[in-house]
Amino acid sequence: MATLQREQDEIVRAPSRGALVVQGGPGTGKTVVALHRVAYLLFAYPELARAGVLVLGPSQRFLDYIGSVLPALGETAVVSATCETLLPEVRPGRTESRRVAEVKGRALWQRVLTDLVHSLRPTPGDLTIRWEGEEYVVPEATIARLVRSACAGRSHHAARRIVHAQLVDVVTELVAHRSGELLAAAEEGLEDILTAVDANLARNDDRGVTTGASGAAVDGELSEQEVEALRSRIGVDAPFASVVQQWWPDRDPGGELTALLADEERLAALAPELDAADRRLLADEPAGWAPSDIPLLDALTDLLGDEEQPGRQADVTAARARERRDWVYGHVVVDEAQELSPMEWQMVARRSPGYSITAVGDIDQTEAPHAHTTWEDAVGEVLGERWRQSRLTICYRTPREVMALTREVLAAAGSENDPPRAVRSSGMDPWVREVDEGGLPAATATAAEELAARWTGGTVGVVAPAARVSALREALAAEVPVVSPAGAKGLEWDAVLVVDPDGIIAEPRGHNGLYVALTRCTQELGRVVVAESRG
């Protein structure tokens, strides 16, 4: 904690209640702040430790890193995951296009899936139950009342469990009432017979002997004990349970989601905001889960609920929390939070209904396909007004000479933020080398070799457009790592070579990607520019 600067320490020690969004540019120590905040919260708020803290990161590499850091800070009540691994036993098995990911990440899906689950409720109508060879009809009005009451604020399967129990009571009353009617009819017939017998006895016996059975010897009603025994029998009756199951069946979230996305007509009805091209795009997706399906599946699983009664949440262990989709954490920390879609934010909110959340990121480094350019755009649709923002304004990594290049890039990206203030200078101005297209691989290899020679004992990295990464890796023979801007996020080297900046700009979110690429170095920045594409 002694190594933290003042603005970092204020964020670490901020109250745990409510969602805190931390905006920090490159080199401002966002991840360090996030992890120290986890340690501080678990120490300062023991009740959070009992429920555990969920740390959501962008990649397995990040999870491996925090897995080694947090135990060193003395904290073990922590579950680390990515959004893709939050659902137990469900993992994406294929990739998808940016356009598909953007469509599936939109906030509208929460309402669409809610409406889908509502449509799965039983249709209004009488329900016929057979019991011991007799038919009993639960009228439509009663069914509508039971369903309406049970569904208020409950998941689909939880509501079904309640309706099942209430139907046991209703059918018990119907059976008891009919049994009473039969007993009353039998009693009335019996009384007529006994009255005739009494009259006959009176005629033949002057002593006035009678049966003594005239009047209401039988009241035509089951006793309380008999009614309870009947209710118990109906409650465990397999044919009765089968009828309720067929009327209100279990629903599989995966099957329902797959069917919805493949049904363009149903999508048009439930999601009119999607145009025909969007619906066709979804319907044409291959089988298997892609990353953007996981938040949809999580939402639908939550709306449907568990088929069996869920167990009580006990004190946290990491293993127990990972196995429970519905675990509610004491606090959730999100790193690289700018990359989350609205539906991924819904995943976060479900795991912290009280919005005890710390989200750190840089909106200007957003690489995801979603359209947000401000934190209001990113979190507003899910968190509403229940969030506040803090800023990390000091860059400890990238030297002043390089940060001077970023203001123009941020403006081109549509950013409303100023770049962070660099606190150190390397004394080395960024340099540019211009080459033609054909000479790009060789020129990159040469420049990388020169940097490696200058930074012996240090580190050198190359950042290039995604389409060039493979060829450049071959040209450099793995002597220096070559990554795309997306792959460079979170990384740093002493010296960085940015190849074909204009090619990076041409990619989706290109200026944001160039901002990432330019800010990876701690000392020296070089750029290799293709002459034909230079503006």
pLDDT of residue 310: 63
In whole angstroms, give the CA distance from residue 479 to residue 160.
61
Mean per-residue pLDDT of the chain: 89
Give pLDDT, residue 69: 77
Helices (H) and strands (E) in the chain, counts: 24, 15
Q: Which tens digits make up the pLDDT trace of 328-379?
A: 999 999 999 999 999 999 999 999 999 999 999 999 999 999 888 899 999 9
Q: Is it the case that residue 41 has pLDDT exceeding 60?
A: yes
> pLDDT at position 219, please?
53
Q: What's the mean pLDDT in 83-91?
A: 92
Structure tokens at 156: 């689909």
| Residue 371: predicted pLDDT | 81
Residues 6+ apart with CB under 8 A from 508: 98, 369
Residues 50 and 345: beta-carbon distance below 8 Å: no
Q: Which residues are annotated as a binding site for ATP?
A: 24-31
Quick check: 492 pLDDT over 70?
yes
User: What pLDDT is attached to residue 191?
Assistant: 52
CB atoms within 10 A of CB 190: 13
User: CB under 8 Å to 31, separation ≥6 — which residues?
Assistant: 62, 335, 360, 490
- For 76, the token pair is 């073990």
Instruction: Identify the CA nearest to 389 among candidates 378, 405, 403.
Output: 378
Q: Poorest-confidence range of 204-218, 317-331, 354-368?
A: 204-218
Confidence of residue 218 (pLDDT cuts 50, 70, 90): very low
Residue 207 has pLDDT above 60, yes or no: no
Residues 47, 330 contacting (CB under 8 angstroms): yes
Locate all alpha helices (DSSP H) within 122-263, ordered by sequence.
Answer: 140-151, 156-204, 224-235, 238-247, 253-262
Identify the bridge partners of residue 56 per DSSP, sorted by sequence position.
Answer: 81, 334
Torsion angle (degrees, nearest 10) of CA 445, 450, 455, 461: -20
| CA–CA distance, 295 with 94 (Å, rounded to integer) | 15
For 122-132, write each residue's pLDDT tens digit: 988 999 999 99
Of 17 and 308, the structure prediction assigns the larger pLDDT to: 17
pLDDT at 74 exceeding the cut of 90: no
This prediction's pTM? 0.85
Q: What is the maximum alpha-carbon separation in the chain?
A: 136
The binding site comprises 24-31
| Closest among 226, 228, 197, 202 to 213, alpha carbons compared | 197
User: pLDDT tens digit string along 413-460?
Assistant: 999 899 999 999 999 999 999 999 999 999 999 999 999 999 999 999
Range name among 200-204, 442-446, 530-534 with the lowest pLDDT average: 200-204
